[in-house]
Structures are given as C-alpha cells and as structure tokens.
Amino acid sequence: MGKYLHVFGLGIQNTLVYRINFLFRAAFGLVPLAGTLFLWKSIYAGKEPGAVLGGYTLAQMISYYLLVTLVDAVTAVAEDDWQIAADIKDGQVSQFLLKPMDYLTYRLCLYGSGRAVYTTMALIPVSVFIVFQRENFVLPSDAATLSVALASIVMAGILQFFIAYMVALLAFWVLDVSTFIFIQFAFEYIASGHLFPLDILPVALQKVVLLTPYPYLLYFPVGVYLGQIRGVALWQGIGMQAGWILVAYLGARWMWSRGLRTYTAVGG
Amino acid sequence: MNAAFATVRRYAGIYAALIRYSLIHEMQFKANFLLWILVEGLWFGLQIAFMTVLYGHTDSIAGWSRWEVVLLVGCNQFIQQLFHMLFVTNLSNLSELIRKGTLDLLFLQPVNTRFLISVKKFEIGNIANALMGLAVVGYALVKLDRVPSVAQWLGFVVVCVAGLAIHYSLMFLLACIAFWTVRAQGIVWGYYNLFNIARLPADAFPRGAYRAVFTWVLPMLLVSNVPAKLLADRLGSPWELMPLIGMAVVCFVASELFWRMSLRHYTSASS
C-alpha cells in the first residue's frame, strides 16, 4: 500500500508542472459550454415560461450541463490512455514485470493524482462560471442525495479508467491505438450524456443506452445529484455501475494477461 | 506580370510535389487512413444526431428550422474538413519545429518560410469528410426545396475561402505563441474548442459580450453561419457577406504582422 501512496505523490508532483496548462484547458472548455447553454436558453425562450423538456426545466437543464462539466473534470481521462499505449509500444512495461508492482494499480494511482490536480485547477474557472449562472444552478435536495452522488462520481471515475485502460491495451496488438481511442470516445461522448441528458431521447433508445456502461460515467451521477434518478431506479443504477466496474476490471485483467503473451518488449 | 506568373507557377509546382509526397507517405498506412476517415465521419454524425434530438423537442431554434440547421452543420463540416486537409496538421506542428530547431532548415530553403510551414503536409483523407459535409448540404437544400442561383454558389465559394482564411490566420497566430512559450500544444488544442461554436446558429446568441467577441475578434459565429445563410437565402442583403470577408482580411493581416514580430524573437534550438 505504501508504495502506491508514493506513486500517487510522485504523480501529483509530475502533473503540477502542467497546472497552468490545465487552467487554460478548463477555461477554453467553457466557450463551447456557454454556446450550448445559449442554444438551450433560446429553445426554452420559444416555449411558455416554466416549460419542461424531457423532464427538465431550464434551470435543471443548465444545472445538468454545469454538473457534467464538473464530473468530467473529476473523471475524464487526459493523457493516461496515450501514456499506457506508449509504455507498451516502447517496451517500458518490461520493468513492471520485474518489479513487485502491479501495472494496473500503478496507472490507477497516476490517474487519481492527475485528476486531483486537474480538478483543483479546473475549479477556478468553472466556479467563476457557475457564480454567473447561479440563479440556474440547482443544489442537491439533501445530504443523503449528495453523498450517494459523490459515491457514484468516484465509481464513475474508476469505470472511466478501466475503459480507457482496456482501449490503451489494444497497443499490444495494433501499432496505432489513437483511432480506437477516438472511436471509443465518440460513442462515450453521446451515450454518456455529455452532449445532452439522455432523458430527451425516445424511450426505446434510452432503454438500450442504459444497458451500456456509458451512462454510468456522467448521466447517472449527475441525475442522482439533481434528484432526477430516485428510489428503485437509483439502486438499480448503482447496481449497474458496480456491475460494469467488475466486468471492466475482469476485462482489463484478461486483456493484460493475453497481451503479455504477444508482448515482445521492444527496445527494453 | 510575367515575373508574378512565374512565381505562381513555381509555387504551384512545389505544392504539387508536396501533395505527391504526402500521398505516398499516407498510402503506407492504408488501414489507418481509412480508420481516420471513419472517426471524422462518426463525429460529424454525432453533430447531426445532436441537432436531430434537439428538434425532437422544438420546431425552431432562434428562427432556424431543422433543415436549415442541418445545412449549417454541413457547411461547417465542409469548411472545417478543408481546413484540416490543408493546414491543421502543419500548424499543430509549428511548436515542434521551434522546439527541436528544425525550423532552421526551412529558413534555408529558397521558398517563403510561412508557405512551407503552412502547407508542408497535405491530409488527403479529409477530402472524403469534406465531401460528406457537402453531401449533407445538398440533402438539406433538397429538403428545404431550395435551388441556389449560380451567383449564390459563386458567393458560397468566396465565403468558404474567407472562412478558411479566418481559421487559418487565427490558428497560425495562436501557433506563433510557441516562439515565446516553446510548448503551445495546449493553445492549439484550445482552438478546437472555438471550432465547436461555429456550427451553432449565431441568432441563438443574445447580443452581448460573448456574441461580440466571437463575431468581431474571433469570428467563429461568421465562418459557417454566413455560407449557410447564403445558401438558405436567409441573408437580408448581399452586404451581410462583408463582415466575413472584412474579418478574413483583418485576421490575415494580423497573423502576418504577428509572424514577423515572432520571427525577431526566434532563437534557434539547434546549432
């Protein structure tokens, strides 16, 4: 355990170098966010006051996007997948085969430290933005909702990491994983609820999407926070989230052991 | 006159050679080449899906109908993919040229350095994605029951070139910041975020600081909106084309001035 805490600490020190970069990244990210919010405001402006679309009032819709931005800052994979793929391609993983250190846990610690630094920096521009949108920012109804939402966000982060890890492990078999990373990301972008809350989809489509792991990355934790997902649906969702984490974990372990059989330790 | 003609011919010859070289390079990785076309196509599909879902809940956004917005997304795709084909890879690479000192080599060539930096690599695959954008524009026009006149199509070509000039100049300007900071990947990445608002109807934005900045400083709300409005016959008068063309000239001049200023700041990394 101690050695992984050490990895976490090293990760913090390494990513602190990029703090200004992170600040700009988060600030630039607010430009399209503002664009999307303007688009929604103009859609709601065409309806009668207090109109509800897909179960969302204007304030809830805006809160949805603000929370997606926050959860995304906490959980998004930044460079981790590229680095893992590079480690495999350059033969850097060889040293982990010799050391008493588990590569998956090692990467998970680095991912955690990267997210900690990124979230801290991103909070500066994002909270300024939220202050401007405060009349449209919904707070959680009670402490219990908030704590379940927070737990769900942590689980979303772990699931996100495992998915990215698996895509990166494709580097054992293919020369360039970047196209796979982008294809996976495209599906994630729409099915996780990044682009719009999944409730506004036709019901049949919603049901299909909710069976995939993607909604449990963003849509689900945000819905829990907003109180849109309650009661049975809430516990079913937590169950799905935990189930997908288990599947992804086993998948990642399996891919790693299969991958090592084809691994040729280039350059190392 | 003859001298000018000779210069154009010389540069066209160089460009043809660069394209040929890029093509040969690209064909070494055929599967990858096709996958990239797929990735870009997927993202384009996502943008249209987003708009389709929105129009499931409303008939008009800021006075734009469903197919007018699809037309806008198509125009944006067309311009953006042409921009990728011609410039994006090259401009993203500028900070590396500076960091490694490879730029020295380009200075020594008997060709305009800015020209070489800007067009060295030609991304042939993006033609396919640009054509997808154009196909969607055509389909949306059919749905809108619109047949643009020859003058409107000619105008479309002009405003697309102006839009390309704006994207190119702004990204070149941002890339030049690397002369000071050396690492500018983050800045280039930031430009992708600006891209994203170009496909939204400008009328959805209330008059205020945001709309003013993205019309008159970083004219993202002009580059795709004006061509789409022209084809959809939504322009009040031809004079509405002028802000786009004017801003294209302003951005290009600004980028050239900044480029010259940056060069004075250049200290070679290699020796």
Q: Which of B42, B60, B62 shows the shortest C-beta gap to A186?
A: B42
Closest chain A residue to B57, measured at CA: A53
Sign of CA pseudo-dihedral B44, B46, B48, B51: negative
Please indicate whether residue B213 or residue B180 has the higher confidence score (pLDDT). B213
Q: Is the pLDDT of residue B270 over 80?
A: no
Which residues, including other chains, have CB under 8 Å from residue B196's CB and lie 6 or more apart?
A31, A32, A35
Q: Quick one: pLDDT at residue B186?
A: 67
**B190 and A32 in contact by Cβ < 8 A?**
no
Burial degree of B37 (CB within 10 A; 0-12, 13-18, 19+): middle
Residues of B with CB under 8 A from a CB of A: 29, 32, 35-36, 38-39, 42-43, 46, 49-50, 53-54, 56-58, 60-62, 186-187, 189-190, 193-194, 196-197, 200, 203-206, 210
Tell which residue, B99, B263, B43, has the closest CA to residue B172. B263
**B46 and A53 in contact by Cβ < 8 A?**
no
Tell me how far apart the alpha carbons of residues B73 and B228 are, in angstroms, rounded to a whole number.
9
Q: Is the pLDDT of residue A268 over 60?
A: no
- Asked if A75 contacts A164 with a C-beta cutoff of 8 angstroms, the reply is no
Helices (H) and strands (E) in chain B, counts: 15, 0
Q: Please report, for chain B, the start and end positions of each structural domain, with discontinuous segments joined by +.
A: 2-264
Q: A189 — contact with chain B (CB < 8 Å)?
A: yes
Model confidence at A168, in pLDDT bands (50, 70, 90)?
Answer: very high
Count of alpha carbons within 13 angstroms of residue A190, beta-carbon side? 21
Tell me how far apart the alpha carbons of residues B37 and A172 are, in angstroms, rounded to a whole number.
23
Tell me how far apart the alpha carbons of residues B68 and B175 are, in angstroms, rounded to a whole number.
34
When scoring A18, A38, A52, A82 by the number of chain B Cβ atoms within 10 A, the one with the most, hence best to mutate, is A38
Q: Which of A32, A38, A46 shows the shortest C-beta gap to B205?
A: A38
Model confidence at A160, in pLDDT bands (50, 70, 90)?
Answer: very high
Which residues, including other chains, have CB under 8 Å from residue A18's CB and lie 6 or more apart?
A117
CA B59 from chain centre, in angstroms, equals 30
Task: Note the residue count of chain B.
Answer: 271
Q: Quick one: pLDDT at residue B265?
A: 85
- Asked if B180 contacts B208 with a C-beta cutoff of 8 angstroms, the reply is no
Tell which residue, A177, A70, A186, has the closest CA to residue A130. A70
Q: Which of A36, A179, A190 shows the shortest C-beta gap to B49?
A: A190
Average pLDDT on B30-55 reads 91
Tell me how far apart the alpha carbons of residues A125 and A118 are, in angstroms, rounded to a whole number.
12
Q: Is the pLDDT of residue B92 over 80?
A: yes
Closest chain B residue to A51, measured at CA: B57
Question: Which pair of tokens denotes residue B155?
Answer: 């105008």
Q: Quick one: pLDDT at residue B214?
A: 93
- Residues on chain A touching B193 (C-beta within 8 angstroms): 28-29, 31-32
Average pLDDT on A78-99 reads 90
Tell me how far apart the alpha carbons of residues B224 and B80 are, in angstroms, rounded to a whole number.
9
- Residues on chain A touching B35 (C-beta within 8 angstroms): 179, 183
Segment B241-249 long-range contacts (CB within 8 Å, at least 24 positions apart):
B241/B155, B241/B158, B241/B159, B243/B215, B243/B219, B244/B159, B244/B162, B244/B163, B244/B166, B244/B219, B245/B158, B245/B159, B245/B162, B247/B162, B247/B166, B247/B216, B247/B219, B247/B222, B248/B161, B248/B162, B248/B163, B248/B165, B248/B166, B248/B169
Count of alpha carbons within 13 angstroms of residue B60, beta-carbon side? 8
- Residues on chain B touching A21 (C-beta within 8 angstroms): 186
Model confidence at B43, in pLDDT bands (50, 70, 90)?
Answer: very high
Average pLDDT on A30-47 reads 92
pLDDT tens digit sequence for B133-182: 999 999 999 999 999 999 999 999 999 999 999 999 999 998 898 888 76
Model confidence at A46, in pLDDT bands (50, 70, 90)?
Answer: confident
Model confidence at B184, in pLDDT bands (50, 70, 90)?
Answer: low
Measured in degrees and rounded to the nearest 5, phi and psi for residue B129 equal -70, -35
**A32 and B197 in contact by Cβ < 8 A?**
yes
Q: Quick one: pLDDT at residue B140?
A: 97
**B43 and A186 in contact by Cβ < 8 A?**
yes
Q: Quick one: pLDDT at residue B185?
A: 65
Q: Is the pLDDT of residue B271 over 60?
A: no
**A32 and B205 in contact by Cβ < 8 A?**
no
Model confidence at B37, in pLDDT bands (50, 70, 90)?
Answer: very high
Top mean-pLDDT range of A52-61, A88-97, B205-214, B249-258 = B249-258
Q: Which of B54, B193, B196 shows the shortest C-beta gap to A43?
A: B54
How high is the mean pLDDT of chain A? 92
pLDDT tens digit sequence for A114-148: 999 999 999 999 999 999 988 888 888 899 999 99
- Asked if A223 contacts A60 with a C-beta cutoff of 8 angstroms, the reply is no
How high is the mean pLDDT of chain B? 91
Q: Is the pLDDT of residue A255 over 90?
A: yes
pLDDT tens digit sequence for A192-235: 999 999 999 999 999 999 999 999 999 999 999 999 999 999 99
Please indicate whether residue A46 or residue B82 has the higher confidence score (pLDDT). B82
Q: Quick one: pLDDT at residue B26?
A: 87
Rg of chain B, C-alpha, whole Å: 20
